[in-house]
Chain A
Amino acid sequence: MLARSVGFALATAGLCLVIGYPVAYYIARFGGRYKHALIALVVVPFFVNYLVRTYAWVALLADEGLVNGVVTDIGVRDEGIRFLNTSWAVIGGLVYGYLAFMILPIYAALDRMDPALIEAGKDLYGTRWNTFRHVTMPATFQGVLAGAVLVFLPAVGDFVSAQLLGGPGTYMIGNLIQQQFLAAENWPFGAALTAVLMSFLAIWMVLYLRSAARAARETTA
């Protein structure tokens, strides 16, 4: 259960990075005078209730939902596709839920970075890829790390996505904790699970804070 939770959370953080980095990059580098408006657009949906956002996906992906309606209408398949109750639905819900936590720190890091560095990489005959790998990526590493931690921590403990988009086969540790307290009435076990979760997350938190502190020292030194 803990392994699945961590796996889902890692996949979520990975997907958030793959989706979030290009978006943050585009907005920070080429947003121009719309930069602030675009980043505000990224944030706005995250003030919509998390349940409602997850529910939106339930409505879209349900067997009788909108996506399956389109699929059967245009005749891709006679039967709809089963989306709900799969791991991918749960991970998708988590990605949709926590994406902003990845984009904002990366955006902040890119925004702070001097664009002349990229120009220099180009002037020194670096290819696009090499410039990105050796200049942009190291410069924004702390932002990526902060984003990964901000997505990973809440995702591990989440139970809403697994409850609504998944099923018993995809339950995470949050679902188990919730059951102990609100259904099984086994509070000591629930408390023990919570303590395990908290200590596990505390390790990551401390590692991250040390890395951030080291980076801060290096930039001021």
Chain B
Amino acid sequence: MATAQQLETTEESTPPEQMVDRSKGRLWPRYLVLALGALIFVFPFYYMLIGSLQKEPDTSLAGAVPTGGLTLDNYSQINDRLNLVQALANSGIFTGGVLLFTVVFGVLAGYALARLHFRGQGTLFAVMLLVQIVPFQLLVIPIYVMVVRTYGLADTYAGMILPFAINSTAVFIFRQFFMQLPEDLFSAARIDGAGEFRILWSIALPLVRPALVTALLLTFIGPWNEFLWPFLVTKEADMQPLAVSLANYISNIAGRAANPYGAILAGAVVLAIPAVVLFVAFQKHFTSSDLGSGVKG
């Protein structure tokens, strides 16, 4: 789209001497804004952790800096109610299925869209862009009718995975990165008699490995954090991913627990940790330049 082309990204760094030049010794307001912002962004996470370790909810300011009396009771309490292991396994299967389909079929589609000329290519590309504008939530009723009522896939992993199976944003990222490779590489390989699959597997794919990581990170947070769809598909508690069982706990059962906030926050920590750890560990693969090429649709 028009917006997109102009967002063409380059390396995200400015020559240091120029920055110093521009802000001669007046960096402190900038640091103040950034530090205040970061505090607002990170504090709820800290508070989530602290709250999950308190025996009694302490909402005073002093409660945010506990001096002792921390306990893991809330974790065992939420585990008794939700069966955390089963819920995490369900989240994992849901997310793993989506990642698998996205890697296999998304890479193939991205490669075809970027490097091969075939009938219907333009249509496919246009539909892929449209998918990013018309979001899933708005199609939830007909997809529910199809998956649950027509195919009877309620309370199955297949039903959970199906609408998310191939992440269109990931396909788009794959396409962008395959497009950036020089054409000579491909024509040389073709002259040498390499088939398209061979070219994709042993030439193109190794060159776009960073894109693979970025796309997989972005794909991961979709199903892992998704609430609405698995909430609609799963009615049996032992099929529910953690986001759904925790949400149900928040809206139904919490009132009856001894320390509902403690237990809820303990569940929230368990749900948040995998995504937070992944994105901190792989933060180099999630910069504006990676994303810039990814959201150009």
The answer to whether A and B assemble together is no
Question: Which A residues lie at the B interface, using CB under 8 A?
Answer: none
